[in-house]
Amino acid sequence: MGSRYKRLLKTLLKFVITATALYFVILKIELAEVAALYRQSDLWLMLLALLAFMLSKLLSALRLNLYFKAISINLTEKTNLQLYLLGMFYNLFLPGGIGGDGYKIYLLQKHYQAGTKKILGAVLCDRISGMVALVVLALVGLSQLNLSIIITQHSTFNIQHSTLLLIPPAFLAYYLFIKYIYSHFLKINLVTFGYGFVVQLLQVLCAWLLLLALGEKDNHLAYLVIFLASSVVAVLPISIGGVGVRELTFLFGSQLLNVDMNVAVGISFLFYLVTAVVSLAGIKYVFRPVRMGEDNNP
């Protein structure tokens, strides 16, 4: 009973954070301007953005299956993709309880008995490889922007080139984490990171196409850096599917990098819509459970 109460409290807290963040964002932007951007948007570019996102999720599923195979869970790519879509649906639309990742871990342990810790490690390392790729891309993007931090009234610190110095420590921390905590994934480390890097590039492409669809012609790099930062924040399990905190990051990021906050938040809402459309494909496997019997290990 105590565990159920904690899960309920955690879910309610996520709803509160999501609602509060969205309310704050809506107060700050001009909804009429955002609506006008949507009315004049290019539908074909939006469809291309959707395609880029779908490709990114396909590669994400392939990457995750590499981790599963490393712990002797031999899912077919079709079954793995079905399970991946189911997890996306649960994570976005049913945030209570154990969530999409937790449900996948439960199903895989039930069918393959590979060990909950190993399966959890596979899912965790999959997430972390994507996070590291996000951080590296964001740091590279920041290095191309002329951004300064005010230290005192008469001095500032330009962070343009210093951000690149953070990339080697990020790679090193990631490598040491895999080597000393999940060493059984070390042999696939470079391949999975490569997948993660391409996945994040495809999602950046998705955001750029959404930016073009809204007719924005300036400061593309600044918007994309904000998008990368928002993707890092959205991974944190503090809101419903990253909603609210992503928009809040776009709002504050637009003020920091001096770009149009209405366009920035407009991109965020559109990216959520793209995510929701793809995630809805997983509803099929709520009513028609993923069959893993034929994937039994030889």
Q: Which residues contact 283 (CB under 8 A, 6 or more apart)?
A: 89, 93
Contact indicator for 126, 66 with CB cutoff of 8 Å: no
What's the Cα-to-Cα distance from 224 to each of 16, 81, 109, rounded to whole Å? 28, 28, 38
Q: Which residues contact 241 (CB under 8 A, 6 or more apart)?
A: 91, 92, 93, 95, 272, 275
State which residues form the domain around 230: 2-295
What is the number of structural domains in the chain? 1
Angle ∠(197,199,205) on CA atoms, nearest 5: 105
pTM (global) more than 0.75: yes
* Nearest-10 Cα torsion for 263, 266, 271, 276: 180
Angle ∠(85,87,92) on CA atoms, nearest 5: 95
Per-residue pLDDT of the chain (298 residues; tens, 9 = 90+): 466 677 778 778 878 888 888 888 888 888 888 888 898 999 999 999 999 999 999 999 999 999 999 999 999 999 999 999 999 998 887 665 457 788 888 889 888 888 889 999 999 999 999 999 999 999 998 888 776 554 444 545 556 667 888 899 999 999 999 999 999 899 999 999 999 999 999 999 999 999 999 988 888 999 999 999 999 888 877 777 777 888 889 999 888 888 999 999 999 999 999 999 999 999 998 888 888 755 544 4
